[in-house]
Structure 1
Amino acid sequence: MRIDLHSHSTCSDGHLSPAELVARAVEKGVNVLALTDHDTVDGIALAQAAIDADALPLHLLSGVEISCTWDAIEVHVVGLQVDTQSPALLALLESQSQARTARGVEIGHRLEKNKLPGCYEGAVALANGGMLTRSHFAHYLVEQKHCKTMQNAFDRYLSRGARAYVPHHWASIEEVVTAIHAAGGVAVLAHPGRYKLSTKWLKRLLVLFKEAGGDAIEVSLCQQSPHERSTLGQYCRDYGFMASVGSDFHTPLPWVELGKNLWLPKDVTPVWHVFSAFPDVPQGEEL
């Protein structure tokens, strides 16, 4: 059984449409996939329609990845098996969308001051109706040959301390967990090892997430050291979290792929054990 509970489509900053994403998931042998676009659930119905139309052997979980501001740090919380029509969730996502638009406009202004006009319009065009993210600005800067790579674009213009960086003003972790629970979902702290936090600060985040009602943390990603995976598994046991797995797939890459290298350490509780109408999954290292 191959499970991937973190992926993105063109409804946010992924490169594949929802239909292309589910087709690739099946091609890669994924049995259960969660579509978790940034601050939007618009792709869920499209993905399910593609599954139904082609009778794909894939179980889709409705999900979303919501940005939060914690002590001036951006962290992400994934909601799994959410009701995509939940008024509380949709209200929060609308607020997030407005914050993303305002931030995008300001990023455009700052890039224009750096003699790079038209970046906001270019990024919006690349988003093509999806949720606008800094990745769209980075793509545009590379496309226009202002930067050589996406990382170069972030380093020069879009990351904290760079020329066009704009601080984020997202919802709090407490607000996000509350909205996910109101939608009947499970709240998962995404990729805890990517926030570049010291052990002391990561433990502070885990304590706050637990106090906010958080249910699980992502333990397994495609690219991580065995030490990180085992450490996150231990944090699940120490703080009483369930464990999740996710590629955080955006585009096909040699080192990041749907369902690739996603297994859990022993003696953790997989997050899918609380899902209803979920395929039977063996517990242990190999899914």
Structure 2
Amino acid sequence: MLIDLHTHTTASDGTYTPQELYQKANEKGLEVLSITDHDTIDGLLTLKSQLPGLDYRISFTESCPSNLESRTSDLNSQLSSLESRNSIFEFLPGVEISAEFPKTLHILGYGFNLDDNKLSKTLKELQEYRLNRNKLMIEKMNAFGFNITMNELLEISGGEVIGRPHFARLLLNKGYVNSIQEAFDKYLKKGAKFYLDKKRLSPGEAIELIINAGGIA
């Protein structure tokens, strides 16, 4: 049984769009997939809208167990039951939330309610902060003499959430660096010239957010 519970799409810093990732997973024979984009569930929501026939999702949204141990047991039971089924594909709602304590941590959450208002609101706030950070990074690059625009980044990202890999690709395309690695080493990695930190929750806040939305972390 093939399962991948940690994937990213172009909704954050992945290479494939949600539908492309779905197709790749099918080609590889995966039976369970979780999209765990950074600080967003837009990739999973996009895939659901593009493939409305994929109604079944492994989750706790219909009858959410009240404690974490029960939720974990419920999830394991659902995954185990798939081994005796001939279904092609199942989805486990997922997200990877950035946290800080004292260094960066990535908190993975699964099986939460996609319609949870607080989860959606908090993730949107994190995305808005990332957008403002991107604008500030562009300003720093322009002041340094690099002709970089938001429209160029949007074109490279395909209109999805812009991240440092898109900055690196644009710097390479414009001849400011000779490789993606050089872009990160000289300008984009933590502590480099154009690096700006992003807003992060505390580990406790991230875990509480996921659990209160009916998931496990």
Q: TM-score, normalised by structure 2?
A: 0.77
Change over 3 Å in CA distance of 1:43–1:4 after alignment to 2: same
Bigger Cα displacement from structure 2, 37-46 vs 47-56: 47-56
Alignment of 1:20-169 (within 5 A): 20-49=20-49, 53=53, 57-71=88-102, 73-169=103-199
For the aligned residue pairs, the C-alpha RMSD in angstroms reads 2.1
Mind listing any 5+ residue stretches in structure 2 that lack a counterpart?
Answer: 56-86
- Percent same amino acid among aligned pairs? 32
Residue identity opposite 1:64 in structure 2? V
Which runs of structure 2 are paired with 1:250-261 in the superposition (5 Å)? none
Q: How high is the TM-score relative to the length of structure 1?
A: 0.60
- 1:54–1:78 Cα change, 3 Å: closer
Distance in 2, matches of 1:174 and 1:65, equals 14
Distance 1:119 1:152 in 2: 20
Report the AA paired with residue 126 of structure 2.
Answer: Q
Secondary structure at the counterpart of residue 5 of structure 1: strand
Paired residues of 2:48 and 2:54 also in contact (CA < 8 A): no
Q: Partner amino acid for 1:141?
A: L
Larger RCO (CA within 8 A; separation ≥ 6): 2
User: Structure 1 unaligned runs (5+)?
Assistant: 188-287
CA–CA distance in structure 1, aligned partners of residues 196 and 188 of structure 2:
8
CA deviations over 1:238-280 (Å, ceiling 9, x no partner): xxxxxxxxxxxxxxxxxxxxxxxxxxxxxxxxxxxxxxxxxxx
- How far, CA to CA, are the matches of 2:54 and 2:216 in structure 1? 29
Per the alignment, residue 71 of structure 2 pairs with none
Off by >4 Å, runs of 4+ in structure 1:
49-56
Compared with structure 1, are the counterparts of its residues 95 and 45 closer, same or farther at alpha carbon in structure 2 (3 Å cutoff)?
A: closer
Counting matched residue pairs gives 186
The 3-state SS of whatever aligns with 2:193 is: coil
1:53 is displaced (CA, Å) by 4.6
